[in-house]
Amino acid sequence: MRETLIQLYSDVCAAETGQRGFLLTRDPRYLEPYTRARSDITKTEALLASLVSDNPQQTALFDKFRPLAARKLGELQQTVQLAAQGHDAAAIQLVKTNMGREWMDDIQALTKEMDRNEYALLDQRFNAARRTSSLLLAAALASVLLACLLAYRVHREGKARQHAIEEKNQALEEQIQQRQTAEMRLRQVQKMEALGQLTGGIAHDFNNMLAIIVGNLEMSLRQIGKSDEALKDVVSRALSAATRGSDLTKRLLAFSRMQPLRPKSIDVNDCARGMLLILQRALGEDIIIETKFATGLWRAFIDRPQLESAMLNLAVNSRDAMQGGGRLSIETSNAHLDQSFADTNVEVVPGQYVLVAVTDTGSGMSPEVMRRAFDPFFTTKEPGQGTGLGLSQVHGFIKQSHGHIQIYSEPGVGTTVKMYLPRASAQQDAEVFTEAMVFAAHASKKVLVVEDDDEVRQFVVSCLNELGYSTISAESANMAQQKLATHPDVALLLTDVVMPGKNGKALVDTVRPFYPKLRVLYMTGYPREAIMHNGMLDTNVRLITKPFSIQELAQELRSAFAEEVV
């Protein structure tokens, strides 16, 4: 009853507030609370009347309240109508009579008196109930006391035994849970380590071979005349197949958390917006993209190109799950993963994250499919429709970036993939900069190519010559040192990372004190730990991954020459 009374008084106040706002501003929007309150007052009065019908004192007070409220509402309606008709002065004059204020004072006084009466009535009922409860409790205690005294010894012994059993069961359950968690983590680590060793063992040689194939095919396309369209088509198909082989190797490296990442402090909202056009083209016209980007979003410390690739992978998976059309939603927000969450999720570090959630209205996944969704080469698609590496690549990238990823799905409803990206620190934000791109030709620049594989070395030299650079080459680190001694005008050292004997990193460390202004660009098909730690490239390291195209090499060289050598 008290809540209804307060609501009725609030409705009258709201109506007066709306009337005052309209009189002052003549803005019709101020009449919304006035109109709503007038509509609600009738219902609230009827409800209050039924609630006080069994209390003569409250009924008498409510009978005084009703005409006062009616007169007050009449005064409000009259002033609003005068103002709406342009008679502002008359409306203000009616307000200044203070009749409405006196009615509101009376309404407030009646409301307070009814509230006090109701509170007193509740207090009386509570005291009566408490007395009755006390009597019943005393009787119950008296009847139970004898039984308690008789059963005390048995109960005490049984409780002690039960407590001992519960403690042992709890300790056993904790041990089992800890063992299961440890075994699960061990299996995950062993699986990742085995796949990483398998991938790393073949990646270097395989990428070297692909570099030769891609490079020579690309050079062939440049040299084939327009009249040889049939030959050009054959070479183009071969180049496409070699490129797909390169992409497969990169996906395996991504899953194994061995791809070289270049994390920087980025605006995730800006990244997602920049992907919308590409995503729409990939999804087609029958899928609608919806976005909900959080304001005040933290910056994330992440490799932007790899994040864009992950978003595209998720979108393509969603497209395949939405045959016949649907809706794809991309949402960003700030998130905090606490210790309790980390305790139940392997490899999660508690802290602040930037959340990117991708949701579709597709066919969804069963629990069995969800458990295997991140496994490499696992797919529910028809043969030839997918490699089964899309989600595993996204998983590897997020984990290598020290983030977290989870899937929520329901068959027939849809799927949500949540990527938790590590928040950038203040220091990482301060290091954000835009690389100056120098597009002028560097024909006068001399590049030293160091590569132990003869065919790869010849291909890289051919690419550099094609781009207008002057080149010399060496097949080992020791020979490279000799070439530097006889060619002091070398401007950039382009060296393989993995070589017999002294590797590329050791070569750079050796010559750097003697050539402090020498720019360095590493190339590799398998980075290992020579120039990266914990999956991240070392500071101030520039790397191009084999196999690469002439355009990619040109881009890296332009960027290298644009940087200042510290």
pLDDT in tens, 154-201: 888 878 888 888 888 888 887 787 667 656 655 654 565 565 555 555
Distance, in Å, from the CA atom of 83 to the CA atom of 87, rounded to the nearest integer, reads 5
Under DSSP, the state recorded for 439 is: -
Of 51-65, 190-204, 347-361, 380-394, least confident by mean pLDDT is 190-204
Cα 392 off chain centre by: 17
**Domain 264-430 falls under CATH 3.30.565.10:** yes
Given a cut of 50, is residue 145 above it in pLDDT? yes
The pLDDT confidence band at residue 437, using thresholds 50, 70 and 90, is very low
Residue 346: DSSP 8-state: T
Task: Look at residue 434 in the predicted model and tell me its pLDDT.
Answer: 37
Q: What does the pLDDT read at residue 435? A: 37
**29 burial level (CB within 10 Å; 0-12, 13-18, 19+):** exposed
Q: Cite the DSSP H helix spans in 224-321.
A: 229-255, 268-283, 304-321
For the chain, the average pLDDT equals 80
What are the residues whose beta carbons fall under 8 Å from the beta carbon of 9, sequence distance 6 or more? 107, 108, 111
Q: What is the pTM of this model?
A: 0.46
CA diameter of the chain: 113
- 357, pLDDT greater than 50: yes
- List residues bridging with 290 in a β-sheet: 329
Q: Thinking of the domain 446-562, which architecture would CATH place it in?
A: 3-Layer(aba) Sandwich (3.40)
What string of H, E and C letters represents the secondary structure of 93-149? HHHHCCHHHHHHHHHHHHHHHHHHHHHHHHHHHHHHHHHHHHHHHHHHHHHHHHHHH
Report the 10 Å Cβ neighbour count for 454: 11
- Calculate the CA 184 to chain-centre distance: 26
Query: How many residues are present in the chain?
Result: 566
CA distance 475 to 480: 7
pLDDT at 151 over 90: no
Using a 10 angstrom Cβ sphere, with 0-12 exposed, 13-18 middle and 19 or more buried, the burial of residue 289 is middle
Which range among 97-106, 212-221, 251-260, 465-474 has the greatest average pLDDT? 465-474
- Containing 511, the helix (H) or strand (E) segment is helix 504-511
Looking from the CA of 361 toward its CB, the CA atoms found within 13 Å total: 11
